Copies of this chain bind each other. A is one copy, B any other.
Amino acid sequence: MSKIKPSLSKGTRDFLPQEVAKRNYIFDIIKSVFRKYGFEQIETPAIERLETLTGKYGEEGDKLLFKILNSGDYFSEIRNSKFEIRNLTSQEATTLISEKGLRYDLTVPLARYVVQHQDKLAFPFKRFHIGPVWRADRPQKGRYQEFYQCDADVIGSNSLLNEVELLQIYIEVFRLLRFDPQEPGQKLVVTINNRKILQGVIEYLDAQNLSSQFFTIIDKADKIGYDGVMSELSNVGFTQDQLTKLQHIFSQRQNVDRALDYFDVIFKDIELGRKGVDEIRYVLSHLNQVDRTNHVIYDILLARGLDYYTGLIVEVKILDAKVGSVGGGGRYDNLTEMFGGQNLSGVGISFGIERIYDVMEELNLFPETIAQGVKVLFVARNAEVEEFTFKQVQTLRDDDIPAEIFLGNVKKQKHFTYAEQKGIPFMVEIGENEMASGNFRLRNVKERKEEAAGLSIQDLKTKFI
């Protein structure tokens, strides 16, 4: 074996124990809230057939799929094909030598899963899924080729209560993650809108031919500002009359009641738009009943890029945080149609857990001690007391107290560093005296001072149980 410098594949990461503990802290809170609302966890494989993945993410997405080489003598497929090799494009070659890829998100696998297992699932199907996905994106700060997604969806129910509950989940998770609504920099902002309203606006403007441009442009409002939106809309062909009407609509932005009342007027003959307004009212009134409105903002300029949304859309941000959105979702139809399933309505949200991690680091929101488990480190000062020390540790473990024994280089005081690095709060050093007397001194690791002395093993048990 030749020696090689160890390194990661670009855009991938290792996680140190402390990082895993922090990530698990986030995952565990999100999972507990999902479960509280009746969502069950599923898993799908990392590897999917390219047939399943291709064509679902647009042309750009297809390029970003990681494709896996067929096993065995795959190259003979190319040699034996009818293609002229010298002219073979990479895309053509791929069809010959690759049948599998890594999943690009958790949504297409969900669609496949629901159709494939529908006879075994309880509908409405409320599932959550947390796991890695892979994209051959150019890596940059905060963007990886392998990263986690975290989705909750309800499939097969048209009830708007699902929308309400999913918004409640957002609010509850961020509260449990200790984002303080009183601290401006930590304030959670859940922005909602409804695609039916946006479609209604398009109808009202008689701008059906410009609808996709309309969505794309207002989706950028955050970046280009209100004036930018207006000028880009003008550039793509919105008339002065249409822009004036839009100005009137957008001017209602600051007050949700005024905005919805205004829509009542302009949607008098536009049923889809009215339906959208009713849906927003339903969601807000239900959230109001459970005191969950103070984080929720209605914004006519929220569009969300993805084509497939058909009803409520939502985006979650931490006010003032620079990372962009930390969550988003909405209602969609026909998710399962691509796999020949019946038309099932769905609604879902996702948590941007990589970003949430970064924001929590930035705002210092992780608890100081994330339980790593071990409560006390027993240090055997020399080989003669090892066996005795082992027995003491075992006494604690017998009562399910996580405890550890350190046999490393005690002369160089490495046990202090060891305990600190692992976040072990207490330490008991054992030498001949302790072995003879059975009396122990307990040291506080962080403060490097004595916590208590003259303790029996029974005393320690009582303390840590």
Complex CA gap A127/B16 in Å reads 10
Interface residue SS majority, chain A: mixed
Query: Does A37 have its Cβ within 8 Å of any Cβ on chain B?
Result: yes
Of the candidates B4, B79, B404, which one forms a contact with A340 in the assembled complex, judged by CB atoms under 8 Å apart? B4
Question: With a CB–CB cut-off of 8 A, which chain B residues contact A386?
Answer: 159, 161
- Given contacts A15-B42, A146-B46, A340-B3, A35 and B391 within 8 Å (CB-CB): no
Q: Are B90 and A76 in contact (CB under 8 A)?
A: yes
Q: Are A20 and B40 in contact (CB under 8 A)?
A: yes
Q: Are A117 and B14 in contact (CB under 8 A)?
A: yes
Q: Which of A349-401 contact B (CB under 8 A)?
A: 372-374, 386-387, 390-391, 394, 397, 400-401
Residue of B nearest to A50 (CB): B9
Q: Are B407 and A161 in contact (CB under 8 A)?
A: yes
Query: Does A450 have its Cβ within 8 Å of any Cβ on chain B?
Result: no
Q: Chain B nearest CB: distance from A464 CB in Å?
A: 12
Q: Are B404 and A37 in contact (CB under 8 A)?
A: yes
Q: Are A340 and B12 in contact (CB under 8 A)?
A: no
Residue of B nearest to A18 (CB): B40
Q: Chain B nearest CB: distance from A143 CB in Å?
A: 15
Question: With a CB–CB cut-off of 8 A, which chain B residues contact A68?
Answer: 66-69, 102
Of the candidates B123, B134, B338, B400, which one forms a contact with A36 in the assembled complex, judged by CB atoms under 8 Å apart? B400
Q: Are A36 and B89 in contact (CB under 8 A)?
A: no
A1-29 CB mask vs B (1 if < 8 Å, else 0) is 11111111100111111001100100000
What 4 additional pairs, Cβ within 8 angstroms, besides A16-B120, A36-B373?
A3-B340, A46-B46, A286-B390, A289-B394
